[in-house]
Amino acid sequence: MFAYIDTASFRVDNKTAYFTTDKTILRDKNDVILTTGKDLTAKLAIGDQVDVKATGIDANEVKIVKKASEFALADAIKAANKALTDHVAAGGKATNTEYKAVEAALKADPQVAANITSTTTALTALTNDIKAAKEAQVAYLAAGGNNTDAVYKAVDTALAADPQVKANITSATSALEAATDTASAQAIVDAELAKVPATLVLAGSTAAAQADIKIAVEGLIDNNKVTVGVSASSPWVVTLTLRADGTTTANKTITVTNEATVAEKAAVDAELAKVVDLTLAAGSAANQAAVDAAVEGLVDLNKVVVTSVTQGSGNEFAVVLTAKGGTYNDNKTITVSSADVNAAKAALTNASLAMVSATTDPVVVNAPAAASGISYFITDATDTNVTTTGAGASATSVSIARDTSAGSTVLELTITKGLISETATFTVTVPTGTDAATIAKN
């Protein structure tokens, strides 16, 4: 093929140079003489395929085997057919304007390479837009988007159109890519925020402060991706901002402690686990000092201090432990009982409540007499067809009035020693008239 030509010479395939003479003959592929002489430029073009007959470097005869324009047309046709196939394979439609324009150019007679090439370029551009739209959808889902989102469905709609419209596809794709960028940006910030724990532990005994918290967080995240902001005071809010845009943010509220407090907490938690429901030994005064001593006996006083033991409802006590030499503390509620009170309760019988007179009206019932530090009180009563008077928090006697029909009452006996109490119930049955009342322990 001609690589270069001027009025007196030419090169073939950039390898062989020939010089034309006054006697050089130029023929077409049908051997028709086109011209003679040195200057062949009017009939030859770079890219023409030729056969050359020469004497040395002097060209005697040049025959055009195939014109460059023929090669160009063949290449254009080949590219056009491939573009049609690629378009359909990518999801394009044969009804598209660009597709039909290529078909028309190929069917033209004569075919024009420039028309085929220009329509092929337009079709290829549409094919690429279709591919880009589908890739944008994949990227959007990967960034956390949903295929039911309006911006995603707009691309679906543009791709499903028949015929497809390039402008609609590109605009929908641009909107989806923008949404993907936003989602991707948020995903980056969220991923970095996930590195910040719910409880941040500062070194040593460092007190929680904005500057120290910021330094600690910066040590956990990728500072090339995000910047760190921390609220001025508790509750501590950590805010990360994407460096790339300066606007995408994410935040979380965290608890801040330090290594010393963590160690103190571990010690307190371990000792608090040893604090369980307990029974004061027989003979114990069951007072505050006895309860305090019993709790202290459960824990390692080299590790914690029993800050307080406070009685709540009934026999429940709130125990507070503090790390020895530290400030961390925690609490737990336990139930305390007394061996003496338990024994006294177990020893109760039907006769434990003394009936002054079973046949009088009212029937009078007395609590057992106090003994060995244990007191007994009739603290409650529920009755049917009788009237009960005298029961109370410190009552040792109760009167039960008879009614016109037989009735009964349930008396609650409280057994107390020091701070510890237990209860037992007795049912007193009161007949009519002067029949004897009876007592049964429940």
Token readout for 113 is 């390479």
Please say whether the beta carbons of 355 and 372 come within 8 A: no
> Per the domain annotation, does 266 fall within a domain?
no
> Per the domain annotation, does 207 fall within a domain?
yes
Reported as a single tens digit per residue, the pLDDT across 281-335 is: 999 999 999 999 999 999 999 999 999 999 999 999 999 999 999 999 999 999 9
Task: Please check whether residues 173 and 76 belong to one and the same domain.
Answer: yes
**pLDDT tops 80 at residue 254:** yes
Least confident of 175-179, 311-315, 429-433: 429-433
Which phi-psi region, left, alpha or beta, contains residue 320 (left: φ > 0; alpha: ψ -120 to 50)? beta
Dump the DSSP string for 293-359: HHHHTTS-TTTEEEEEEEE-STTEEEEEEEETTS--EEEEEEEEEEHHHHHHHHT--GGGSEEEESS
Residues in Cβ contact with 38 at an 8 Å cutoff, skipping those fewer than 6 apart: 7, 8, 20, 21, 22, 24
**pLDDT tops 80 at residue 382:** no
> Per the domain annotation, does 15 fall within a domain?
yes
Query: What CA–CA distance (Å, rounded) separates 162 from 314?
Result: 82
Tell which of 11, 41, 66 closes a domain. Answer: 66
Task: Please check whether residues 61 and 76 belong to one and the same domain.
Answer: no
Query: What CA–CA distance (Å, rounded) separates 247 from 195?
Result: 20
pLDDT given at position 156: 97
Task: Please check whether residues 244 and 335 belong to one and the same domain.
Answer: no
> Per the domain annotation, does 18 fall within a domain?
yes
Least confident of 272-276, 287-291, 431-435: 431-435
pLDDT given at position 389: 72
pLDDT given at position 4: 66
**pLDDT tops 80 at residue 224:** yes
pLDDT given at position 152: 96
Least confident of 12-21, 159-168, 280-289: 12-21
> Between 7 and 57, where is the model more confident?
57
Please say whether the beta carbons of 328 and 265 come within 8 A: yes
**pLDDT tops 70 at residue 135:** yes
Q: Which residues of 264-289 are buried (b: 16+ CB within 10 A; e: fewer)?
A: bbebbeebbeebeebbbeeebebeee
> Per the domain annotation, does 239 fall within a domain?
yes
> Per the domain annotation, does 333 fall within a domain?
yes
Reported as a single tens digit per residue, the pLDDT across 87-126 is: 999 999 999 999 999 999 999 999 999 999 999 999 999 9
pLDDT given at position 380: 72
Strand ranges (E), 110-158: none
Quickly state the pLDDT bin for 399 (edges 50, 70, 90). confident
Task: Please check whether residues 253 and 284 belong to one and the same domain.
Answer: no
Total-model pTM: 0.57
| Residue (of 55, 65, 59) closest to 18 by Cα position | 59
pLDDT given at position 101: 97
> In the predicted model, what is the mean pLDDT of residues 339-358?
92
Reported as a single tens digit per residue, the pLDDT across 34-50 is: 999 999 888 888 888 88
Please say whether the beta carbons of 99 and 62 come within 8 A: no
Number of domains in the chain: 5
Task: Please check whether residues 357 and 313 belong to one and the same domain.
Answer: no
Task: Please check whether residues 112 and 168 belong to one and the same domain.
Answer: yes
Which DSSP category does 373 fall into?
Answer: T
pLDDT given at position 419: 97
> In the predicted model, what is the mean pLDDT of residues 384-408?
78
Instruction: For residue 299, give Cα distances in angstroms to 290, 309, 322.
Output: 15, 13, 11
Least confident of 46-55, 127-136, 158-167: 46-55
What's the chain's average pLDDT?
A: 92
> Per the domain annotation, does 283 fall within a domain?
yes
**pLDDT tops 70 at residue 391:** no
**pLDDT tops 80 at residue 384:** no
pLDDT given at position 2: 60
Structural domain of 156: 71-182
Query: What CA–CA distance (Å, rounded) separates 58 from 28?
Result: 19
Alpha carbons within 13 A on the beta-carbon side of 323: 16
Task: Please check whether residues 331 and 355 belong to one and the same domain.
Answer: no
Task: Please check whether residues 127 and 150 belong to one and the same domain.
Answer: yes
Residue 12, SS3 per DSSP: strand
The reply to whether omega before 368 is within 30° of 0 (cis) is no
> Per the domain annotation, does 189 fall within a domain?
no
Task: Please check whether residues 166 and 206 belong to one and the same domain.
Answer: no
Give the helix ranges, DSSP H, for 51-107: 68-89, 97-107
Residues in Cβ contact with 219 at an 8 Å cutoff, skipping those fewer than 6 apart: none
213-218, Cβ contacts within 8 angstroms, sequence gap of 24 or more: 213/238, 213/256
Residue 114, H or E segment: helix 113-142
**pLDDT tops 80 at residue 280:** yes
